[in-house]
Structure 1
Amino acid sequence: MSAPHPTPADDIPADVRERHARLSQDLDDHSYRYYLGSPIVSDAEYDRMMAELRELEDRYPSLVTPDSPTQKAGAPISNEFAPVEHLERMQSLDNAFDDEQLTAWAHRVGAEVPVEAFLCELKIDGLAVDLVYEKGRLVRAATRGDGRVGEDITLNIRTIDAVPLRLDESVHPAPELLEVRGEVFLPATAFEELNARLADEGKPPFANPRNAAAGSLRQKDPRVTASRPLSMLVHGVGAHRGVAFTHQSQSYEMLAAWGLPVSDRTRVVSSLDEVRAYIAHYAEHRHDPEYEIDGVVVKVDDVALQRRLGSTSRAPRWAIAYKYPPEEVTTTLLDIKTSVGRTGRVTPYAVLEPVRVAGSEVEFATLHNAQEVARKGVLIGDTVVVRKAGDVIPEVVGPVLDKRTGAERPFVMPAECPECGTPLGQQKEGDVDLRCPNTRYCKGQLRERLFFIAGRKALDIEALGYVAATALTQPLEPAEPPLRDEGDLFNLTVEQLLPIRTLVLDPDTAEPKLDPKTGEPKVVTFFANQKGEPKKTVEKLFEQLEEAKRRPLWRVLVALSIRHVGPRAAEDLARHFRSLDAIAQASEEELVAVDGIGPTIARSIVDWFAVDWHREIVEKWRAAGVRMAEEGADEGPRLLDGVTVVVTGSLEDYSRDGAKEAVQELGGKVTGSVSKKTDFVVVGANPGSKYDKAVKLGVPVLDEAGFRVLLTQGPEAATAARLAVGETPED
């Protein structure tokens, strides 16, 4: 039977396109919030949405674009610490949720290469980190970040007893270079003790062990990190020189000999049935380890086979994460309320009788939209099933029908915005979401946008927290809001701030917090002390506003809150256009031509700049001195502008991602397939069919030396250094 032909783009049903766009947007939003530490959906719900998106793209391959969540790994990084480029990219893992999906993965792998052994290990619910040792000495540690760039946390990692500062060379000499990947975690008992201590000190507890580990590693004072009993287990090797591994399990043996912490629960097995037995054992003994786990990772043990299988844009083909079903509890659904987000989307959320799930107490859960409430069939007052797999906010699965008393009542989606009272509506026909159209003046939307602007992935203004954002947009009468819109942010004065009194709102619900002494809503004079003088916060705020003006262009682009334009897309746009004016003037066709930008993002950008008051914000920021272009934007074309490159085979001095980034930094474009429009194909050891196609099409072929010429001298010099037809790097 012949393979089915991909459905032409024009033949994709409109409802499928709409669903694909909605899932893509929601997954990007959820991924961003997750790495900010404030997710609004459970891991299980995120995985379900991702699976649905993959299914749509399998049925309609033309929906796959570089900006699809299925093609991206990880999330943007925090800028609280210095950015660090990983020597090799840290990828995500594809997931399997049942035996059928696990079997399908094993068959795909086996169809390409004969697999003699699998390595099974526990999937720790911790914080992924990257350690770099040079000649046996720890020189750098970083968070995973977006997979390419992480945060430098070297000083904090050095406080963890399990991490050796020098490798033990009593068995094996230390390699010249060793990049190690692993998970930092807080043991379950230590987590309980830490939260108890925080409660005694009157400080808010951490939601779960993973958040506690992340918060501990992101302390600016390493002494705070040292006071937390963090530990670590390593589970992989990135870049390395001076050592070679034939099997993943062999690398673990050598890592352990060097004194690195390796799990004693890892097993090498020879059949899929043994993999299933390992998974089943830890499903029954999930709480035996000292750390939280949410599944099992299965890898092809043979490193040579790993290289042959390769990776997609976000995950290795030679590994998969088998995810356990999330743990479930029951509690009472006290109420269903709504909140408005920065894009005007009004979202219902569940108010729960506080309940402990997977090690943390929760009282709120998102319900996405009115259709989702109806689909789940929940009523206010129901006993509901809540499940959680290490998330901050859990998922309401559905009602326990046997426990209904008849006193329950249905949820009715409000017709007006909960913040400004404007009638809600669909942005376009068929939308499942209702939005507040009062985009500019809705106090709730403006507050959320302002808080977003101050976030680590945007302009990183630490002094502009949620209370400050509320004070600037929603002061108590008789004060007038200092901000008409976010365009006024850089024109604030001390005189505007001092008289402001405001309610303290919960950032998860936008509901007023209550004063524990009086039971009344808590009111603060945020910017002035009791004498009416500026607090230190005010000086800090103005200092950070000045610093924010000098942020890179991509951060400014993120801060504008253009729908679908997250940090990754913003970086691609800034790299390509190099100025905000060029982005604003670009057509949809020019925007889609940028690597990583799809039609949804392009349309959103064009629509955003078509709005008068949006352009006013840009001009206000420009007048205030906010950076609007990349350095050197007026210096003319870059060395590889307009050059398209394909890389195939293994290079000695460049990983596949490293080669791609080297080209992109010089203005070039790297694609995954060879065509007549390809300018150069770079071939390393064991090139695949792309080399053959390049020869057939007459596309210039470069070996690694020729690639270096391309990067340093440009396309004309590289053309002179290309390989002869039929010649390979081995020749």
Structure 2
Amino acid sequence: MTQTAAQRIAALREQIDQHNHRYYVLDAPSVPDAEYDRLFHELKALEAAHPELVSADSPTQRVGGQALAEFGQVRHEVPMLSLGNAFAEDDLRDFDRRVREGLGELLPAGDLFGAGAEVVYACEPKLDGLAVSLLYVDGLLVRGATRGDGSTGEDISSNVRTIRSIPLRLLGTGWPRVLEVRGEVYMSRAGFEALNARAIETGGKTFANPRNAAAGSLRQLDPKITASRPLEFCAYGIGQVDGELPATQSGVLAALRGWGVPVSAELRLAEGVEAALAYYREIGARRAALAYEIDGVVFKVDRLDWQRELGFRAREPRWAIAHKFPAQEELTELLDVEFQVGRTGAVTPVARLKPVQVAGVTVSNATLHNMDEVARLGLMIGDTVIVRRAGDVIPQVVQVVVERRPADARPVETPRNCPVCGSHVERTQLVKRGKGKASLSEGSIYRCVGRLSCRAQLKQAIIHFVSRRAMDIDGLGERIVEQLVDVGLVRSPADLYALGFDQVVALEGFAELSTRNLLAAIAASRQPSLARFIYALGIPDVGEETAKLLARALGALARIEAALPEVLTWLPDVGLEVAHEIRSFFDDDHNRTVIAQLLERGVALQEEGELHAEFAACASLAELIAKLEIPGIAATGAKHLAAAAGDSLEGVVALSQDWLSLKATKGLTEKARAGLREFFAAPGNVARARAIEAQLRAFGMHWQSEKKRVADLPLAGQTWVLTGTLEAMSRDEGKARLEALGAKVAGSVSAKTHCVVAGPGAGSKLARAGELGVAVLDEAAFLARLAQLGG
């Protein structure tokens, strides 16, 4: 090695990086291709002669490396959230109103003539590509990842390095020590057409649209394939940061541009919602002339401190929205209607269409939702129909062109028997409950009654059970689930935990190593949290958030299994219909058998405990009376009745049978008294009321139970924030332990934050805590604090 060679290599890299930036980002090359090629070949020759000087950020390293067997996983320190959508101008005005209301007094006062202050929005086209994260440490690109589910993505570092518009080393100076750049990998229209032209010439497979081409190219296990595709990158924001950045969205993007990262040339600022709408219309008018596909416009509050103040709801920021363009529509022919069977047995009609291009995608299937929708459309097989990609994503049939109906058109008929297992198909019944009575009406869904004896339902149930947010059995994908069901090895979720080595290794596609890996993944799933287990069971209408609520509130599987519908409705956001679905699920003999088998075969639930303090003694007799839906007695009458009965259910029953005392009870109408007498004259109603009270007492929710109010907990009234990676536990577990101590766990740091727990990789939240003087604990101190508080 000589100093001269090292210096020349460094100079060549700097020149080539500058030329790459001018060519791929600025579209303003400063040297002819021949000169660029000469510099590049000189660099390659020097690095070949001095391999010890080759570094990961060298321009020569964009292409190369071995193909991967699979992608690793990357956990996003700052979740990559999706955006809410606006489809009409009034939706955007509503968003602006919510932003201004959320900012409140932070928004400057209006002028003397009464005009209110306007929010400034950063506006840019919504590229139709694949969202990715690029992590730079000390200016070097160290990792690339897909968005994934928002919390966890795939490591595609080798592939993003091949995209020439992505700098391997940031240009200039002043960038933060840790900088996570987020943006979209996409393919231009010209690049897409050239790619498909090459595929046609070589007899290869063509892509349907630029988005699919970009996504497919980026997820190649061989980076050389990715390198051959005309991919581009455009940054739209940041994630994890350790260092200083400008105070506005537009300022951050301008800084990124200065560091060599591509940002949209269409980026504009709009003062107020009407200016934002004008930008949307202007971009929409130029949409077809743009060099790339877009499906809308993204609007973000420009000031970052206002973004932090507005925060998030569910999995969406309150400070940003995507205003989508209207869906595109085309005419085609309905060739047939087939029926698919889902996890809950729902038999759903699917339109089979004569293939047609809609918004750049070949559509041959479309959802029909249910048979009521078929009837509403007046749909017949052979009809000419209008197909729309709703939100530019899901194809659906929106209208029948009746005047084009052929003479041989056939009606769409619901199958009497399941197309998969042959079991009877029946129409669901809707139960409407009110005032102590239940009335039945026909639902819009048809169901196969075969349940888990139906392979379609069994497969979907198992696929849900093993999914990432449920039992999280890595490597057990749809194909393997279908194989296990088809050969009869798995007839219920419990059978997964009885699989043996000899059974699995005999399956097609399995060898010794893959068999051991699968069995190890199944074994590793034997200790799920209670919330994951409840979600994995696939209870109708019980999604992930409801499962978390049931686990947090009731604390134990035994309580959830036993909970009566009326008791469940004391939990927030659990209505009577969902409560009856939960009760019906656990009343089912087959479901109880499967749960028992799961526990017998080693599934050990974690994070079980006592009833959450928030729900201790949370019930009142007046609420119980109201939930019984006694004719003529609403909330106010229930309070009068509870007071007259001395806060005793037995007192209410006795009062209902004592006409003179009942007549003297204040606050009850004649209709209410008659309704009460009639209700409790039925022995079944008395037994039901007593059963509800007994369960409230057993759970600790009864009005005479010991109160363990959240306000009495050590962290009551405090807001905590978790950031970075926790090594001793997951972030979800840390959140659960804080909540059990009465704390509220938030997603962003504000002046109201009591404490921030910062693990390795903590970024902008830690910096924000420092700005506001908020207390910060590392993981060791956090664990010590939990131990001190008994959490």
TM category (shorter chain) comes to 0.5 to 0.7
Q: Which residue of 2 aligns with 1:445?
A: 457
Indicate if the aligned counterparts of 1:487 and 1:616 stay in contact, CA closer than 8 A. Answer: no
Confirm or deny that 1:562 pairs with 2:552: no
Indicate if the aligned counterparts of 1:387 and 1:397 stay in contact, CA closer than 8 A. Answer: yes
Indicate if the aligned counterparts of 2:124 and 2:297 stay in contact, CA closer than 8 A. Answer: yes
Q: Any idea what SS the aligned residue of 2:521 has?
A: helix
Confirm or deny that 1:613 pairs with 2:590: yes
Indicate if the aligned counterparts of 1:366 and 1:395 stay in contact, CA closer than 8 A. Answer: yes
Q: Any idea what SS the aligned residue of 2:81 has?
A: coil
Q: Which residue of 1 aligns with 2:605?
A: 629
The separation in 1 between residues aligned to 2:549 and 2:473, in whole angstroms, is: 20
When normalised by structure 2's length, the TM-score is: 0.62
What amino acid is the match of 2:775?
A
Confirm or deny that 1:352 pairs with 2:353: yes
Indicate if the aligned counterparts of 1:706 and 1:718 stay in contact, CA closer than 8 A. Answer: no
**Aligned-pair distance for 1:718?**
8.2
Indicate if the aligned counterparts of 1:188 and 1:291 stay in contact, CA closer than 8 A. Answer: yes
What amino acid is the match of 1:100?
D
The separation in 1 between residues aligned to 2:352 and 2:563, in whole angstroms, is: 45
What amino acid is the match of 2:145?
A
Indicate if the aligned counterparts of 1:118 and 1:271 stay in contact, CA closer than 8 A. Answer: yes
RMSD: 4.6
Q: Which of 743, 756, 774 matches 1:704?
A: 774
Q: Which residue of 1 aligns with 2:444?
A: 432
Relative to 1, partners in 2 of residues 1:328 and 1:360: Cα closer, same or farther, differing over 3 Å? same
**Aligned-pair distance for 1:335?**
1.2
Q: Any idea what SS the aligned residue of 2:736 has?
A: coil
Q: Which residue of 1 aligns with 2:734?
A: 665
When normalised by structure 1's length, the TM-score is: 0.66
Confirm or deny that 1:164 pairs with 2:176: no
Indicate if the aligned counterparts of 1:642 and 1:667 stay in contact, CA closer than 8 A. Answer: no
Confirm or deny that 1:100 pairs with 2:90: yes
Relative to 1, partners in 2 of residues 1:173 and 1:572: Cα closer, same or farther, differing over 3 Å? farther
Indicate if the aligned counterparts of 2:343 and 2:458 stay in contact, CA closer than 8 A. Answer: yes
**Aligned-pair distance for 1:351?**
0.7
Relative to 1, partners in 2 of residues 1:246 and 1:358: Cα closer, same or farther, differing over 3 Å? same
Q: Superposition pairs for residues 205-216 of structure 1, below 5 Å?
A: 208-216=209-217
Q: Which residue of 1 aligns with 2:175?
A: 174
Indicate if the aligned counterparts of 1:591 and 1:602 stay in contact, CA closer than 8 A. Answer: yes
Q: Percent identity?
A: 38
Q: Superposition pairs for residues 45-194 of structure 1, below 5 Å?
A: 81-110=71-100, 112=104, 113=107, 114-115=117-118, 117-169=120-172, 172-192=173-193
The separation in 2 between residues aligned to 1:669 and 1:327, in whole angstroms, is: 48
Indicate if the aligned counterparts of 2:195 and 2:230 stay in contact, CA closer than 8 A. Answer: no
Q: Which residue of 1 aligns with 2:298?
A: 297
Identify the structure with bigger relative contact order (alpha carbons < 8 Å, sequence gap 6+): 1
Indicate if the aligned counterparts of 2:539 and 2:581 stay in contact, CA closer than 8 A. Answer: yes
Q: Any idea what SS the aligned residue of 1:563 has?
A: coil
Relative to 1, partners in 2 of residues 1:456 and 1:359: Cα closer, same or farther, differing over 3 Å? farther
Indicate if the aligned counterparts of 2:738 and 2:745 stay in contact, CA closer than 8 A. Answer: no
What amino acid is the match of 2:150?
G
The separation in 1 between residues aligned to 2:189 and 2:422, in whole angstroms, is: 45
Relative to 1, partners in 2 of residues 1:460 and 1:277: Cα closer, same or farther, differing over 3 Å? same
The separation in 2 between residues aligned to 1:621 and 1:200, in whole angstroms, is: 55
The separation in 2 between residues aligned to 1:707 and 1:461, in whole angstroms, is: 33
Relative to 1, partners in 2 of residues 1:705 and 1:275: Cα closer, same or farther, differing over 3 Å? closer
Q: Any idea what SS the aligned residue of 1:175 has?
A: coil
What amino acid is the match of 1:488?
D
Confirm or deny that 1:553 pairs with 2:516: no
Q: Any idea what SS the aligned residue of 2:410 has?
A: coil
The separation in 2 between residues aligned to 1:541 and 1:391, in whole angstroms, is: 41
Indicate if the aligned counterparts of 1:342 and 1:444 stay in contact, CA closer than 8 A. Answer: yes
Q: Any idea what SS the aligned residue of 1:287 has?
A: helix
Q: Any idea what SS the aligned residue of 1:109 has?
A: helix
Relative to 1, partners in 2 of residues 1:201 and 1:669: Cα closer, same or farther, differing over 3 Å? farther
Task: Compare 205-214 and 92-101 and name the one that shifted more.
Answer: 205-214
Q: Which residue of 2 aligns with 1:279?
A: 280
**Aligned-pair distance for 1:331?**
0.4
**Aligned-pair distance for 1:374?**
1.6
Deviations along 1:663-720, one digit per CA (max 9) or x if unpaired, are 851634559xxxxx966899975449xxxxxxxxxxxxx983287799444479789x
Indicate if the aligned counterparts of 1:362 and 1:393 stay in contact, CA closer than 8 A. Answer: no
Deviations along 1:167-194, one digit per CA (max 9) or x if unpaired, are 112xx42212222221222334444555
Identify unmatched segments of 5+ residues in structure 1: 1-79, 476-480, 499-526, 529-533, 672-676, 689-701, 720-731
The separation in 2 between residues aligned to 1:341 and 1:245, in whole angstroms, is: 50
Q: Any idea what SS the aligned residue of 2:336 has?
A: strand
The separation in 1 between residues aligned to 2:134 and 2:566, in whole angstroms, is: 42
Q: Any idea what SS the aligned residue of 1:279 has?
A: helix
Q: Any idea what SS the aligned residue of 1:422 has?
A: coil
The separation in 2 between residues aligned to 1:198 and 1:456, in whole angstroms, is: 35
Relative to 1, partners in 2 of residues 1:668 and 1:203: Cα closer, same or farther, differing over 3 Å? farther
**Aligned-pair distance for 1:322?**
1.1
Q: Which has the higher helix share?
A: 2
Q: Superposition pairs for residues 689-728 of structure 1, below 5 Å?
A: 704-705=774-775, 711-714=782-785
The separation in 1 between residues aligned to 2:493 and 2:151, in whole angstroms, is: 31
Task: Compare 89-98 and 539-548 and name the one that shifted more.
Answer: 539-548
The separation in 1 between residues aligned to 2:238 and 2:360, in whole angstroms, is: 31
**Aligned-pair distance for 1:462?**
4.3
Identify unmatched segments of 5+ residues in structure 2: 1-69, 108-116, 431-440, 614-709, 754-771
Q: Superposition pairs for residues 271-420 of structure 1, below 5 Å?
A: 271-388=272-389, 393-420=394-421
Relative to 1, partners in 2 of residues 1:485 and 1:407: Cα closer, same or farther, differing over 3 Å? same
Indicate if the aligned counterparts of 1:248 and 1:302 stay in contact, CA closer than 8 A. Answer: yes
Indicate if the aligned counterparts of 1:663 and 1:670 stay in contact, CA closer than 8 A. Answer: no
Relative to 1, partners in 2 of residues 1:188 and 1:461: Cα closer, same or farther, differing over 3 Å? farther
Indicate if the aligned counterparts of 2:349 and 2:371 stay in contact, CA closer than 8 A. Answer: yes
**Aligned-pair distance for 1:205?**
5.8
The separation in 1 between residues aligned to 2:396 and 2:153, in whole angstroms, is: 29
What amino acid is the match of 1:441?
S
**Aligned-pair distance for 1:399?**
1.2
Q: Which residue of 1 aligns with 2:261?
A: 260
Structure number with bigger Rg: 2
Relative to 1, partners in 2 of residues 1:279 and 1:681: Cα closer, same or farther, differing over 3 Å? closer
Deviations along 1:558-585, one digit per CA (max 9) or x if unpaired, are 5543334555666777788998778657
Deviations along 1:492-522, one digit per CA (max 9) or x if unpaired, are 5798789xxxxxxxxxxxxxxxxxxxxxxxx
Indicate if the aligned counterparts of 2:170 and 2:260 stay in contact, CA closer than 8 A. Answer: yes
The separation in 2 between residues aligned to 1:595 and 1:201, in whole angstroms, is: 60
Relative to 1, partners in 2 of residues 1:617 and 1:156: Cα closer, same or farther, differing over 3 Å? farther
